[in-house]
Amino acid sequence: MGLYERIIGKEEKVALVGLGYVGMPIAVAFAKKIDVIGFDLNKEKVNLYKNGIDPTKEVGDKVIGDTTVMFTSDENDLDKAKFFIVAVPTPVNDDHTPDLTPVEGASQIVGRHLSSGSVVVFESTVYPGVTEEICVPILERESGLVCGKDFKVGYSPERINPGDKIHRLETITKIVSGMDDETLDAVAKVYELVVDAGVHRAESIRVAEAAKVIENSQRDINIAFMNELSIIFNKMGIDTKAVLEAAGTKWNFLNFRPGLVGGHCIGVDPYYLTYKAEELGYHSQIILSGRRINDDMGKYVAENLVKNLIRADKRVRDARVALLGFTFKENCPDTRNTRVIDIVNELREYGIHPLIADPVADAEEAKREYDIAFTDFGSIHDMDAVIIAVAHDEFLGMSKKSLSGLYKDGERKVLLDIKGVLDKKEYGEDGYLYWRF
């Protein structure tokens, strides 16, 4: 009897290492079919899960309360597992080089609890070669076992889109790979338990790693093109959104929009690919150009706010500005790697200290990561300018009367609609100085 058969027969367990926005939904999905151990070093997070609370808002409190996942922060519980899925972040350092510390640390933990016949599958986004060249030696060192003889490895890149209630683990085709045909077959069958859309069997681990890292690089480049168009059209006095709506009537036009590019994937993954390319003696032309454009968009927003304050005959230094939204995307509490912070930092250079309101964001995380304290939306008034930075549902439901109530009476209202959620003509005719990408 193989490992897959023992897993579905509940003779062996699957362990999820890393219970964030990616790992936790995977653990919950598998727990509907098999026995699952959910491990995370963050004891506070694990305790929330144990008490039926979903801090990520990915699956909801009821699902967490009903799941059979064994949540733990005690790594010794991993001794009970035979099939390990590693889903930890892979960020970049300040110099944009890969920070493999989380995946190396997870490999050390898993390695200490491997036994003969174990399979380890990595989901973290990495450049081609990391699984076999960096993670495997750590697993061997910590376990005293030999990869290929005593245990096997695979790679299956995460494709979960935080906050997206349509494109979920179950509905997205899953790329799977293994170090040999036997491992590939086992990995594919395990994921087929929960992925209704099916799996794609990549021919090697390196191919699967490369496929993942280019997915977000492609999106990054396309958004960079839209951002550059926005800069050009702004100088021409042309509304970019109107241009894209017109161009979008052609069947093969790609539906991308300008904006801030943050989060843990699109703004990070390209640097993993270009880092490896640099190691091999190739300097990226297109990928890094796109990254430079996208990294500068926060500064671009701040500059246009200042220009519009001047047009409205308002004082720039100490201007009263409200910034609505701080997370890296709408309806998601995650603030890590949000590019809204770039707007905040740039405004501070002009002597502007914006009030920031975000009813969705993890306030403790924002304070810890950025030393940002949020302002209650209801206490915002007498503003010179308002920036709608994130399209949370709470902001989309605002009436014009509510928005108008945020400003000083009798003065021109400067409004930056970063996400393009409002009717430009309507607000322009109502006396607002309206600007968007």
Distance of CA 282 to the CA centre of its chain: 28
In the predicted structure, residue 163 carries a pLDDT above the cut 70:
no
* Opening angle at CA 273, ends 210 and 187, nearest 5: 30
Nearest to 342 by CA among 260, 252, 223: 260
Report residue 300 CA to chain centroid gap: 22
Which pLDDT does position 170 carry in this prediction?
84
**Exactly one of 135, 147, 265, 332 is catalytic; which is it?**
265
Give, in degrees to the nearest 5, the angle at Cα 193 between 188 and 197.
80
Catalytic residue check, 332: no
User: Model confidence over 234-264: pLDDT tens digits?
Assistant: 999 999 999 999 999 999 999 999 999 988 7
pLDDT in tens, 183-226: 999 999 999 999 999 999 999 999 999 999 999 999 999 999 99
Q: What are 93-126's pLDDT values in tens digits? A: 989 999 999 999 999 999 999 999 999 999 999 9
Residue 184 near residue 155 (C-beta atoms within 8 A): no
pLDDT at residue 349 tops 80: yes
For the chain, give the percent of residues with pLDDT over 70: 99
The pair of three-digit structure tokens given for residue 307, joined into one six-digit string: 């220009």
pLDDT score of 23: 94
**With the C-alpha atoms ordered 381, 261, 299, 313, is the resulting torsion angle positive or negative?**
negative
Whether residue 337 contacts residue 264, with contact meaning beta carbons closer than 8 Å, is answered with: yes
- What is the set of domains in the chain, with CATH numbers? 3-203 (3.40.50.720), 224-435 (3.40.50.720)
The angle that helices 286-295 and 269-279 make with each other, rounded to 10 degrees, is 140
**pLDDT confidence of residue 397:** 83
Please state, in angstroms and as integers, the Cα–Cα distance from residue 72 to each residue in 13, 25, 157, 197, following that order: 14, 15, 24, 30
Q: What is the pLDDT of residue 164?
A: 67
Separation of alpha carbons 121 and 364, rounded Å: 32
Give me the count of residues in the chain. Answer: 437
Q: E strand or H helix at 155, and its extent?
A: strand 151-155
The gap from C-alpha 411 to its chain's centroid, in whole angstroms, comes to: 39
CA-to-CA dists, residue 241 to 74, 296, 297, 408, angstroms: 51, 20, 16, 29
